[in-house]
Amino acid sequence: MTEQQPSPLFEQTLSVVNIGIDLFAETLRQQSVDVVQVQWSPPATQNEDLMNLLDSLL
């Protein structure tokens, strides 16, 4: 069996874009990894009755 060389990808500096859980980004920062945190949440599903009720309140 021949020994495989590690991918050059693993020799580069790691930079991460984290979408969601802040704890994951913080854990990476503690390891000196560059992290950009994106605040995102899935869009709420629109319930037509609820939307009409909210519209009537405004």
Higher pLDDT, 8 or 38: 38
Within a domain: residue 37? yes
- Contact at 8 Å (CB) between 24 and 12? no
Within a domain: residue 33? yes
Would you say residue 56 has pLDDT above 80? yes
Within a domain: residue 24? yes
Tens of pLDDT, residues 4-30: 888 888 788 989 999 988 999 999 999
Within a domain: residue 3? no
Within a domain: residue 56? no
Within a domain: residue 5? no
CB atoms within 10 A of CB 25: 19
Domain membership of residue 20 as a residue range: 13-42
Within a domain: residue 26? yes
Domain total of the chain: 1
Distance (Å, whole) CA 30 – CA 17: 15
Would you say residue 1 has pLDDT above 80? no
> Torsions phi, psi of 43, nearest 5?
-65, 140
pTM above 0.75, yes or no: no
Separation of CA 12 from chain center? 21
